[in-house]
A and B are shown apart, each in its own frame.
Chain A
Amino acid sequence: MQDFYIDSFHTQKAGNTASEYEDAFWMPVPTAGLREEGMRIAVADGATDAMYSGLWARLLVKAYGKHRMTGETAQDHLSRAAQVWDRAVGRRPLPWYAEEKARSGAYAALIGLELSRGADGDSGSWSALACGDSCFFHLRHDALLESFPLTRSDEFSSMPFLLGSHPRSRGLEGMRSGGGTWQEGDCFYLMSDALASWFLTRCEAGDVPWQALRDVTIAKQPTFEEWIFSLRRERAVKNDDCTLIGISFEHC
Chain B
Amino acid sequence: MAYTAEISRNNPTLFVFLIDQSGSMADSVPDSEQPDRRKADALALAINRLLQNLVIRCAKEEGVRDYFSVCVIGYGSKIGPAFSGPLAGRETVPISDVGNMPARVEQKIKKTDDGAGGILEQTIRLPIWFDPVADGGTPMCSALAQAHGVVQRWLEEHPDCFPPVVIHITDGESTDGNPTNAMKTLTALPSSDGSVLLFNIHISSDGTAKPVAFPDTAANLPNQYAQLLFESASPLTYNMRAVANSQHGMNLSDGARGYVFNGDMVLVIQALDIGTRPSNLR
Contact = CB atoms under 8 A, between A and B. Distances in A.
Interface of A: 15, 20, 45, 47-52, 95-101, 103-104, 107, 158-162, 164, 166-169, 171, 174, 193, 239-240
A158 B116 contact: no
A49 B281 contact: yes
A107 B275 CA distance: 12
B278 A15 contact: no
Nearest to B54: A97
A101 B278 CA distance: 13
20 contacts: A47-B278, A47-B281, A49-B57, A50-B278, A51-B61, A96-B105, A97-B64, A97-B127, A98-B59, A101-B59, A107-B281, A159-B243, A159-B278, A161-B278, A161-B280, A162-B276, A167-B114, A171-B278, A193-B276, A239-B6
B276 A164 contact: no
A100 B280 CA distance: 17
A48 B274 contact: yes
A96 B278 contact: no
Interface string B60-86: 110110000000000000000000000
Interface string B246-282: 1100000000000000000000000001111111111
B275 A49 contact: yes
Nearest to B279: A159
Given A51-B61, A99-B125, A168-B113, 9 more contacts: A15-B8, A50-B281, A95-B63, A97-B99, A100-B59, A159-B276, A161-B279, A164-B280, A164-B281
Given A100-B56, A167-B115, A107 B278 contact: yes
Contacts of B55: 97
Contact of B276 (A15, A45, A98): A45
Interface residues of B, number: 41
Please give me the 8 A-B residue pairs with the lowest Cβ-Cβ distance, nearest first.
Answer: A48-B275, A167-B115, A107-B278, A49-B277, A168-B115, A96-B125, A162-B278, A159-B279
A106 to B, nearest CB: 9
A27 to B, nearest CB: 23
A99 B55 CA distance: 12
Which of B56, B100, B127, B276 has the most CB atoms of chain A within a 10 A radius of its CB? Answer: B276
Interface of B: 6, 8-10, 52, 55-57, 59-61, 63-64, 99-100, 102, 105, 113-116, 122, 124-127, 239, 242-243, 246-247, 273-282
A236 to B, nearest CB: 15
Contacts of A95: 63, 99-100
Contacts of A159: 242-243, 246-247, 276-279
Given A95-B100, A103-B122, A47 B277 contact: yes
B282 A169 contact: yes
Contacts of A239: 6, 8
A15 B6 CA distance: 11
B276 A169 contact: no
B276 A158 contact: yes
Contacts of B60: 20, 51
Contacts of A103: 122
Nearest to A174: B280
Contacts of B127: 96-97
Contacts of A174: 280
